[in-house]
Amino acid sequence: MDTMTGTPQTPSAPGASALDPAVAARLKRTADGLVPAIAQQYDTGEVLMLGWMDDEALHRTLTTGRCTYWSRSRQEYWVKGDTSGHAQHVKSVALDCDGDTLLVKVDQTGAACHTGDRTCFDADVLPLGH
């Protein structure tokens, strides 16, 4: 919900944010206007989490130095760490060769996962069948 108007927020349509138009033109978004963003610890290479960004979330991430995501469940923007204190300070952002995935290298403070684990990939390692 937009706190000023009380109306639901939705991800930005392409071109509706202040994102550099050259960057926006390279993004291949899902049907709902989102791009997956992988957060990785910049110095160790540890994969921390996957979040979703629209054009506005990417713009905010690039300009503030803090990861901003679009919450599909809450239908609102969220800055990682604003409520938990487990912030992600952006070191670099890269777009993959297809333009459909972002890699955000961060310096993670505390846990990246909402469960309190360091990463979202710690708890459920699947067995290999070979």
Domain-embedded: residue 42: yes
* Residue 104 forms part of a structural domain: yes
Count structural domains, the chain. Answer: 1
The two three-digit tokens of residue 92, written as one number:
């670099």
Instruction: For residue 54, give the CATH number of its domain.
Output: 3.10.20.810
* Residue 95, domain extent: 21-108
Instruction: Give tens-digit pLDDT for 5-21.
Output: 343 354 544 445 799 99
Q: Is pLDDT at 122 greater than 60 in this prediction? A: yes
127 inside domain:
no
Q: What confidence score (pLDDT) does residue 36 get? A: 98
| pLDDT tens per residue, range 52-107 | 999 999 999 999 999 999 999 999 999 999 999 999 999 999 999 999 999 999 99
- Residue 56: closest CA among 13, 24, 1, 17: 17
Residue 37 lies in a domain: yes
Side-chain-facing half-sphere of 95: CA atoms under 13 Å = 17
Task: Decide if 123 is inside a domain.
Answer: no
19-63: pLDDT as tens digits: 999 999 999 999 999 999 999 999 999 999 999 999 999 999 999
Phi-psi region of 33 (alpha: psi -120 to 50; beta: other; left: phi over 0): left
CA distances from 87 to 18, 43, 76, 112 (A): 23, 16, 18, 8
Domain membership flag for residue 82: yes
Q: What is the pTM of this model?
A: 0.84
Token duo for residue 75 = 């239908």
Residue 16, pLDDT score: 58
- pLDDT tier at 125 (50, 70, 90 boundaries)? confident
What is the rounded CA–CA span in Å between residue 106 and residue 89?
A: 5
